[in-house]
Structures are given as structure tokens and as C-alpha cells.
Structure 1
């Protein structure tokens, strides 16, 4: 493998890993803080992709569609937690799994009614349609660099929010001991709704920015959900830093596995998960980090 090809594969691995982080960070926050196993998280990714298709068609502006989609997803997540997930906290995990799986079926049926079952494409904005010259006549798409840039910006924003703000302090405390947080007079109900709304918005944003490179199709959130749970398990439940490290690890293992050992590439990620869990059963990082 020549250096240019190696660089391209590294960029692909980073872009895939950062996109996984964007989805999985919301999942690990919801699971780690609220204690809810949310199988519908992959459906939020699908909703984001269909929002990108619909809003970009209506507005003619991809950036405006992204902004509108994030705002709508925060409102949707807030209302969904108020009307549905707030009743799941005291339920057993089996009940949570069954009820959130039911949500997947509801969202898929609504998608079929509202948008149809066809596969759609979202055009890359013209100002992001070019490529960056890497040498040897090879280029790398600017839009993929844009995806990585957006994910990095969100990761830095999440770090600042969680580590440097009062809200982040409450989130970290809630992940560690929710009863103590509530006894200190913090509105744990509002905190849960904000966390859930933020988790939904992260998954929706990931679906929106991924739509131009992966197309938009029914059931696209199902495979993403499985790999996101792998990220959460490897990184440590409730750890955003762990989700970032785990997602990048998976990105490199998956990308270079497909290059060097295509027949076994699909299993390598799960071998990685098994190896890390044998070494550290709780994951790479502790909850709340």
C-alpha cells in the first residue's frame, strides 16, 4: 500500500469513527444517565437522513436544512421524553427493550406513510462537491472532510459543555448518583429531558450529514444501532470520552479490515469488543468521564 492510499484509508477510518461517535455519544448519555436501553436510537439516525432529504428539497439549502433539522430534533426529543420515556425509568430493562423496539416499528410505519419506501439521494452542496488533491492523481472528497470537521466540532462542544459548565456538572453527577442529585434540589426531570433531547439531536445530526454519502433508505438505522451499542460497551456505559476512543478504534479496525482481510472484516469489530471486555469488563473508561 503506497503512502497516498494509506492516508486515504486513514481519513476514511477517522470519518467513519467520528460519525459513529456522533450517534453513540447520545446513546451512551441516555443509557448511562437515564438507565434506559433505547433500541429506537437507530431510528433517530434514520429520521435525520429523511429530514435531510425532505428539508433540503424544501429549502434548497443544505446548511439551513441542517439547522432546521437540529432544532426540530431537540423539540421532538423533548416531547418524546415527556410523553413516552419518562414512564420507562422504573420499568425493568426487558420492558424498556420491548417498548423501544415497538417505537422502531412505529417510526418505520410513519416513514413509509409520509415519505414512501423508495431509496432517495441527497445531493452534496456545490461548495462541498470537490476533492482535495493528495498526490499520485488521487483526491479525497471535501464533503467527507466536512463530516469529520462537524463531528470534531460537536465533540469539542460536548467536552466543553460536560467539563466546563454547570449543566455538564449536573449531567456528570446524575450519571454517578441520580438520587443524590435530586436530593440537592436539582430538577432531575428537566435534566433528563435535556439529556434525552440532546441525544436525539446528535443521532439526527449524524443521519443528516451522512445522507449525501450513504443515501436514504428504509431501515437504515438498524445496522447503525448494533455497531453503536458495540461502541458504548467498548468505551464504557455513560462515558462520552470512551465513546470517542471506541468509535475511532472501530473505525480503523473496520476500514483496514476491509482492505487487508475482507472476508473476516465484519467479525473483526466484535473480536475487538470481546478482547477489550476480557481485559476490562466495564469498558475503557468509567461512567461520567
Structure 2
């Protein structure tokens, strides 16, 4: 039991940090530009595929750094030559633009890399155990992903709170016109933030590709959960996205790891029910994919602004 708790906690933190890495870029883009980007998860997928292709040429580690830069550059170009023009027509046009862009990216990925998964894996030495507990190994790569994700969180906090660029970004959130009147190029700042947000999505893809799977459906599998994270955490709140990512990651991981049914849980709190009934026999593992959306519904009912969101005036 102790082994299950320890490894489920580690895997839940790992999954949660990957979700945060992906959702932080979306949160940053929404909080600054008011754009709910439906193509965000597609750039997560693109990051994995670009890292796979670059890795075959320059090696794993150079690809680890180059792939997010490539994805971020593509994001900046999309903002400058596409979304910036669409922005003039309102939020509906932005949603339709990013919605269509997601499908275009998905089709391009299948045309270039094929409709099946590719063998994007970490080097063999990173699969060696970082530590062994009760006969179960925890790989170096998994530990490294947790470390890099945590460092990314610290770097993002420092960038936004302690640097001049972060000051300009935070000022532009609420007083964009004033920042422009002070002589700063706000459209260029928006383009940089957009590219940076998609670079974070690409970095999540570089990390998540070897852990999960690098295949054309990877954007569709994580895309809805990313929006759940943003809403549960509070629209535009990076700290809320962090808490929501860890919460969803831990809940899903523990549900998958626990060999129990709804009836077992009810009996555990003193209710005498049949653990093999039509409803009470449902296992927690089968409920795991639903838990983010159940949490979303509960949040929208009882706390519509999210965990750390602010009330609108």
C-alpha cells in the first residue's frame, strides 16, 4: 500500500506538472490577450513531433531545447500574420480561427509523420532507475521531467514578478493603452507572449511525448483537460492553473492506481451497499477519465470564478 501511495503521488505530480506546463501558456495568453486558443494543445503535439525529427539529426538534448524555440517562433508568426488581423473581428472570429488552425495542424502532422504513433523515446540511459523502492524502479527521465517542470515554474514566476519584461506584461494586462502611450510596442509584446505561451506548450510536448505517446491523437486527449485546468484554476490565474493541474493530476493517478469500486468506498464510510451492483460496482479506474470534467461541473456550480480567479466587477 505504501508503494502505491508513493509512486501514485510521484506520477500524479509528474502528470500535474506537465498539465501546468501546457496550461500555463494558455493562461498567460488568455490573461493578456483575452484569447481562448483552441489550437494550444496542437502545438503541444507539434512540439513532440518536432523534437522527434530534430532528435534524429542533432540528438535528444539539442532537440529538447530547439523544439520549443521552433514551436514558439511558429506561434509568434501565427499571432502576427493571422490572429492579429482576426482579432479586429471579435472573440468569435478568434475562436473559429484557432479551432480551424487546430484541425489544419492535425492534418499536417498526419501528412508529414503519418497516422500512427512514432518511436519518440528518451535515450536508454535515461530509462535507468533513479531509485528503486519495494522492487519498483522510478526512471531518471521521470525524475528529470519533474525537476525541469519545477524549474520552469520558478523561472516563469521570476520572469513575471521580478523582471522588467514581466512588469510590462502585467501592466499590459489591465492598462495596455497606457503602456503603449509610454512608448512600449504593445503589439510586439503580445506577439512575444503568444510565442512564449506556445513555446511552453512545445516544451510540454517534448517532455510528454516519450512519457505518454507521440501520435496524432495526443492533442485531442489532453486539449479538453487543459481547458478544464484553466477554468478550475480561475481564468487568467497562473497560480490557480498550478493548483488545478496538481489536483487533477493526483486525483486521476490515484483513481487509476486504486483497485476499488464506488461500493467499496461507500462501505468504507459506514454505508452498507452491494459492492457489485450496477452503479456501486463501477471502479474508480473507469471513472478516472471523467474526474476532470466532474470537477469542472462542480466548480462552475459552486465557485464559478475558479480556485484563484478574481470576481469580475
Please, what TM-score do these two structures have when normalized by structure 2?
0.86
CA drift at 1:101:
1.3
CA distance in 2 between counterparts of 1:127 and 1:217 reads 24
Q: Is the 8 A contact 1:121 1:211 kept in 2?
A: no
Q: Secondary structure at the match of 2:241?
A: helix
Structure 1 range deviating more: 172-181 or 225-234: 172-181
Counterpart residue number, 1:169: 167
Cα 1:74–1:145 change in 2 (3 A) is same
Q: Is the 8 A contact 1:34 1:89 kept in 2?
A: no
Q: Secondary structure at the match of 1:88?
A: helix
CA drift at 1:184:
3.3
CA distance in 2 between counterparts of 1:154 and 1:69 reads 16
CA distance in 1 between counterparts of 2:308 and 2:88 reads 26
CA drift at 1:224:
1.2
Correspondence 1:160-239 to 2 at 5 A: 160-239=158-237
Decide which structure has the larger Cα Rg and report it: 2
CA distance in 1 between counterparts of 2:306 and 2:172 reads 19
Q: Is the 8 A contact 1:4 1:134 kept in 2?
A: no
CA drift at 1:107:
1.2
Counterpart residue number, 1:21: 20
CA drift at 1:19:
0.1
CA drift at 1:69:
1.0
The RMSD of aligned alpha carbons is 1.6
* Gaps in structure 1 of 5+ consecutive residues: none
Counterpart residue number, 1:274: 297
Structure 1 range deviating more: 269-278 or 224-233: 269-278
* Gaps in structure 2 of 5+ consecutive residues: 259-283
CA drift at 1:48:
0.7
Higher RCO (C-alpha under 8 Å, 6+ residues apart): 1
Counterpart residue number, 2:53: 54
Q: Is the 8 A contact 1:175 1:238 kept in 2?
A: no
